[in-house]
Chains A and B, each alone.
Chain A
Amino acid sequence: MAFDFELVTAENVSRNFGRRRALTRVTLECRAGEIVGLFGPNGAGKSTLLGILSTLSRPSSGEVRYGGRTAGEIGEALRGKIGVLGHDLFLYADLTARENLQFFGRLYGVSNLEACISQALAHARLEARAGDRASVFSRGLRQRLALERALLHQPRLVLLDEPFTGLDDESTTLLIERLKTLRAQGAIVVMATHDFDSAEGIVDRAWCLVNGRATDLGPGPSSLRERYRIATREGRA
């Protein structure tokens, strides 16, 4: 039976780069059907945490568990359940939009690939430009294509680093709808962003990282931005 999980937990995860500590004993939990927002100032450790959750890097101490098992215990099968949209878009500039999706789809062993690609191009609204190379796309178009590339294999854990970058209003709205659909389908979405306005209505839980430490922003009467301001003020104090 194929490996799957419905819970991701980070327990006391710390990460050092030489003498600099990027993450300090971060503990958090993400469940299926949830959108978790990661907020924090530049250099707070958001991308580092996403890198650890994606299995690309390992924590210096602590551990991440996917359905109770660590990445080392699960192996390659885990990577097939994770979709990552990085700050860099993971697209080949000399390949067309369709070829990029075909390449990664085949690498992930996506079944019924051509239908999935057509659907992905429709989601990205790039059907008419499927034959254009990624190098000629604007940042926003590449962002939309990269998102579909990350979601092509229907991952359980979706890690998004600044997903709203370069998107116009309409694309932002579409992305928000896409994230809601993913949540309804039972995906675990972890999203690092600075865009409070876009994230306000969709995140189920929000964490703030300041100086590598995570604080639960929790639910509250005030806006996400206001709770974030308070958390960062306290975190720096």
Chain B
Amino acid sequence: MGMLRAAWLIARKDLIVEARSRELAYTTIFFAIACVLVFSFAFVREGHAAEGEAAGILWVALVFSGTLALGRAFERERQAETLRALLLAPVERAAIYLGKLIGLLALMACVEIILVPIVSFLFDAPIARAPWMLAALLATGTVGFAAVGTLLSAMLVRAHSRDVLLPILLYPIAVPVIIGGVRGTAALLAPEPNFAMAQAWLSMLVFFDAVFVTIALWMFQPVMGEQ
């Protein structure tokens, strides 16, 4: 079976399971909104948001809520040891990684669709100024972050303190993507937008995505080698 078809089967299964349990969707969306609200209490004074904060707040909320989802990505596969069943299937191991990544990206996309208008409303962020560029920045940033996170989540699946270790390991490695996302989005949402700068950061994010996804696909087989 082709790797992409196997990855799609695994992602589809994850999405069906999530649609039934709604466990991750509810927790990540609630956490992301709570995060943004806390920031709004700190940065909105007398109905006016501080300038230039929206991008950072949006990305902090996305990264924190994304970490929650990443922590559960492989945890579910441990419940009836279905991870072993996936590893026993005659498909490339990288397909398991890719399937998990696609499932997570779909979930994070849902969070972003809800979160971006809320951030725009609370912090007066002009998201309609260049919606496609903003969508591209969010998409590439999310892919890079989730690519690293999915691999680390798989590596930590048998670790006792995986919930603590995941953010500790993930954030330093994902820093280039987070910086790229924040700076690119900030350039776009600033009172004087700098489209050239946003474009440059978008190119950097595409490069990081290519590097991170390639390394993760290459590393997943040895990471999952022995169960």
Residues of chain B in range 84-110 having any CB-CB distance to chain A below 8 Å: 84-92
Stretch at the interface among A90-98, A112-120, A165-173, A191-199: A90-98
Q: Which residues of A contact B86 (CB under 8 A)?
A: 107
Interface residues of A (CB under 8 A from B): 51, 54-58, 76-80, 82, 84, 86, 88-95, 99, 103-104, 106-109, 133
Is B227 positioned at the interface, with any CB of A under 8 Å from its CB?
A: yes
Q: Residue B13 contacts which of A51, A55, A84, A103 (CB distance < 8 angstroms)?
A: A103
Closest-by-CB residue of A relative to B21 is: A94
Complex partner residue of B85 from A76, A99, A104, CB under 8 angstroms: A104
Kindly state the separation between the CA atoms of A79 and B93 in the bound complex, as whole angstroms: 12
Known: A104-B85, A106-B9, A107-B6. A91 touches B80 (CB 8 A): yes
B: number of interface residues (CB 8 Å): 24
Main secondary structure on A side of the interface with B: loop
Residue B160 is within 8 A (CB to CB) of chain A in the complex: no
**B17 near A94: Cβ-Cβ < 8 Å:** yes
Check A108 against B80 for contact (C-beta < 8 Å): no
A99→B91 contact, CB < 8 A: no
Count of A-B residue pairs with CB < 8 Å: 71
Q: Is B16 an interface residue (CB 8 A)?
A: yes
Residues of B bordering A, CB below 8 Å: 1, 6, 9-10, 13, 16-17, 20-21, 79-82, 84-92, 226-227
Q: Across the interface, which residues of A come within 8 angstroms of B89, CB to CB?
A: 79-80, 104, 107-108
For residue A80, give the distance in angstroms from its CB to the closest CB of chain B. 3
- Residues of chain B within 8 A (CB-CB) of A55 are 88
Q: Are B85 and A58 in contact (CB under 8 A)?
A: no
Given contacts A92-B17, A107-B6, contact A54 B80 (CB under 8 A): no
- Minimal Cβ-Cβ distance residue in B for A91: B80
Instruction: Add 11 more A-B contacts to A84-B84, A88-B84 (CB < 8 A).
Output: A57-B226, A76-B90, A76-B91, A80-B89, A86-B84, A88-B80, A90-B80, A90-B84, A91-B80, A104-B85, A106-B9
